[in-house]
Amino acid sequence: MGNKTKNIWAIIATGLLSFLGTNLLTGLSIAIPTIIKTDHVSTDVGQLINSGYSMMVGICILMSTYLLSRFSTKQLFQNSILLFILGLLLSGFAPNFWVLLIGRLITGIASGLSIPLMFNIILAKVPENNRGVMIGIGTLLVTMGPALGPVYGSLVMKAFGIPALFLFMLIIVAISWFLGFSTVEPISTIKSIKLDWPSTILLVLTLLSFTFGLSFLGSHQINAFIPITSVILAVVFTVFFFKRSTQISNPLLDVKVFRNSNFRNQNIAFFLSQVTAPAVGFLLSIYIQSVDLKSAFIASMVIFPGSLISAFLAPVGGKLLDKFGAAKIIGLGASFFTIGLLMFWLVSRGEMNAMTALSIDIIFMIGMGLSTGNLQTSGVNTLPNNEQSDGDAFFNASQQYSGGVGTALAGTILSAFQGSAHGSALLTGTHSGTSWAFCALFILAVISDWLLIRGFKSQGA
């Protein structure tokens, strides 16, 4: 087998693992309403299977610079396979919600190891003149996961039940292992560098505190003081993490990239925009099934067209970026997703049926398709070459962790309005909560737009 062929199979092998993670993330958004009912948990607790997963992915990606230096590509690939198997088996055979959650957390670690692997192989093994094609293949594998997830989730859940959502994914793991066993090879010499444990602990505490606090801000089951304190602690841990990272010679991440105002503005804008997409999917899934009283399959069909359009727009958006520049294309995308969120908010205040939701979601997802990849490209390009790997890690972590933040935010607003109601009161609370959640997402989009305008103005774009 030639080197070129081996590289292609290695990229597909690692890309399939990334596909698995993102596919399950959106697939479970469709299943969460059913999980909430069958496991008798509240909305804020039920969404933890996605927000907890995203938290673990974010932690691992932020540690990817260390992991890729300390361990070989093959070691990381094999450990990712083993963790996927363990996590999927635990989730598939879970006797209760909490075992399912543990399985999802383990799967999050596996995804966090696999996502940086694919792009690292591309950058290290593929010649620059062929890199665009390989990045396109890799990006397609990752973006098709969220696009196909809702359909996969609804069809498998209806035909075989929720455990099959996880157990069927073992087939993808087996294919990935078969393709990557002899093709994923060590890329660089392993460096004997020590992990900075204080930074690692601060990083974990930051994301853990923020995820917990945001998930339960609207909870009626625990005192509001606890989640508020948790969010405040997350801010304190973040400050200490940044302070330590600037004081040691070999930091976990080079946070000095945030001194670049253009990078900072675009990274924060990117994070805020990425919070909205999974939150919209989560809200539509619950609204269509609980308020519009349609099936999980109908809910998935509402989300599927927009997700598919967004996936195929990503590479097109890159070409448009090269032709017209970042400000115009990202600005166009931001306009679409902001208008989409405004329409969701206004329409959901009354009665929003499935067809209306589908139409608005297409507008929203066109904006996401045009802006997501381009914002990352534009933001990383504002950095010098020696800082771009750290900048890329921040963008990748932002993209993965934002999914958990979006789901947690939507879940906590819904829970605040649902309370402990039942019957028609629960339906009314879900309706009102959905509308106000869309309002919150629209506000985040406006802040994101403001940061983009500010950033591009400073660049003279």
| Residue corresponding to tokens 């230096």 | 69
The more confident residue out of 254 and 23 is 23
> In whole angstroms, how far apart are CA 280 and each of 116, 140, 260, 292, 454?
26, 22, 31, 16, 26
CA–CA separation, 135 and 166 (whole Å): 28
Give whole-number Cα distances, 400 to 56, 112, 194, 250, 405, in Å: 9, 9, 26, 25, 9
Could you give the CA distance from residue 108 to residue 115 in angstroms, rounded to a whole number?
Answer: 11
Give 129's pLDDT tier (boundaries 50, 70, 90): low
Confidence class of residue 181 from pLDDT cuts 50, 70 and 90?
confident
191 close to 200: Cβ distance less than 8 angstroms:
no
The span from the CA of 74 to the CA of 59, in Å, is 20
What is the pLDDT, as a whole number, of residue 299? Answer: 87
Asked if residues 451 and 269 have their Cβ atoms less than 8 Å apart, the reply is yes
What pLDDT score was predicted for residue 420? 60
Report the distance separating Cα 283 and Cα 9, nearest Å.
Answer: 37
Residue that wins the pLDDT comparison between 55 and 139: 55
d(C-alpha 10, C-alpha 260), whole Å: 35
Rounded to the nearest 5°, which phi and psi values hold at 460?
75, 20
Q: Cβ distance 276 to 405 under 8 Å?
A: no
pLDDT attached to residue 135: 65
Q: What is the pLDDT of residues 396-440, one digit of tens each?
A: 888 878 877 888 888 888 888 876 656 677 778 888 999 999 999
Classified as helix, coil or strand, 41 is coil
C-alpha 5/C-alpha 217 separation (Å) is 51
The whole-number pLDDT of residue 444 equals 94
pLDDT tens digits, 294-350: 888 898 889 889 988 888 887 777 778 778 887 888 889 999 999 999 999 999 998
Instruction: Give the residue among 406, 361, 378, 390 at the shortest CA–CA distance from 271.
Output: 406
Token duo for residue 388: 């771009």
Q: Assign 30 a pLDDT band (cuts: 50, 70, 90).
A: confident
Average pLDDT over residues 252-259: 83
pLDDT in tens, 319-328: 787 788 878 8
pLDDT value at 132 more than 60: no
Token code pair at residue 87 = 């996590």
The Cα-based distances of 244 to 199, 230, 348 in angstroms read 7, 21, 45
What is the pLDDT at residue 49?
92
Cβ atoms of residues 379 and 321 within 8 Å: no
In whole numbers, what is the pLDDT of the chain averaged over residues? 85
Lowest-confidence region among 95-99, 222-226, 243-247: 222-226
Q: Are 95 and 89 in contact (CB under 8 A)?
A: no
pLDDT 10s digits, 366-375: 998 888 778 8
- Contact assessment for residue 206 and residue 237, using Cβ atoms and an 8 Å cutoff: yes
pLDDT at 209: 93
How confident is the model at residue 251, as a pLDDT? 81
Element (H, E) at 254: none
pLDDT of 293 > 70? The answer is yes
Residue 431 CA to residue 411 CA, distance in Å, equals 13
CA angle in degrees (0–180, nearest 5) for 350-366-381: 130
- pLDDT tens track for 215-231: 887 776 777 788 899 99
